A and B are shown apart, each in its own frame.
Chain A
Amino acid sequence: GQQLNQSPQSMFIQEGEDVSMNCTSSSIFNTWLWYKQDPGEGPVLLIALYKAGELTSNGRLTAQFGITRKDSFLNISASIPSDVGIYFCAGQLPNPSGSARQLTFGSGTQLTVLP
């Protein structure tokens, strides 16, 4: 199936630092989504992007839908301890033909914030 290459796989940062992670694909997507998963819980939607070039913020989080429609990045500014978790990108291929199999997920970025 389609694959999203998400990087980095893991990050260790100091509290207060900024963080950047990204996803790339060989396929064009018409929607990009970013999720956060707290330990032992299900992923929660952070940001949804629907247009190429779109830049959207949610508090300290900023995400962009790449111009080529094949990539997206997520930035977290001024990290805090509760930012710890796994961040997933997800993309929807165009013309899903009514299939419920709408989203392809990246492999996740494990973020650790050190005090």
Chain B
Amino acid sequence: DGGITQSPKYLFRKEGQNVTLSCEQNLNHDAMYWYRQDPGQGLRLIYYSQIVNDFQKGDIAEGYSVSREKKESFPLTVTSAQKNPTAFYLCASSTHREVSDGYTFGSGTRLTVV
């Protein structure tokens, strides 16, 4: 079955360390996205990518970096420059259609800085 997989489900990081969150999809979707969700809050867009080797900053890109070397993969690196990285991170993908049929979301990664 096709889907989008995020790993790991839980991640702990020491202050000052970079950490990379994985996102893989086998839906043959062109576009992929990273969102951050804080407790009781909505979704805030970090980065998005329309095609391989191209990506754009979202609303809260500072302290994060991404790559899109393969269509199936869109890893997110949370760098030490991100001052408040503890949050729930969601990856999503979609077809590149004029009329959206919605995003497919992964099950999320909960990052905690210790």
Contacts and interface: CB of A to CB of B under 8 A. Distances in A.
Q: Does chain A bind chain B?
A: yes
B70 to A, nearest CB: 16
Interface in A52-100: 88, 90, 92, 96, 98-100
Contact of B98 (A6, A33, A96): A96
Interface string A33-55: 10100001111110010100000
B1 interface: no
Interface string A100-114: 111101111010000
Given A41-B107, A42-B108, A44-B105, A103 B100 contact: yes
Given A42-B90, A42-B106, A107-B41, A100 B96 contact: yes
Interface string B91-114: 010101011111111111010000
A103 B103 contact: yes
A100 B110 contact: no
B45 interface: yes
A24 to B, nearest CB: 15
A115 interface: no
A90 B102 contact: yes
A22 interface: no
- Judged by DSSP, the binding face of A is loop
Contact of B43 (A33, A41, A96, A105): A105
Contacts of B98: 96
Interface in B43-102: 43, 45, 48-50, 56, 58-59, 88, 90, 92, 94, 96, 98-102
A109 to B, nearest CB: 10
A98 B94 CA distance: 13
A31 B99 contact: yes
Contacts of A7: none
B21 interface: no
Contacts of B96: 98, 100
Interface of A: 1, 6, 30-31, 33, 35, 40-45, 48, 50, 88, 90, 92, 96, 98-103, 105-108, 110
- Can you list the 3 inter-chain pairs with the closest CB atoms, starting with the nearest? A42-B105, A100-B31, A107-B42
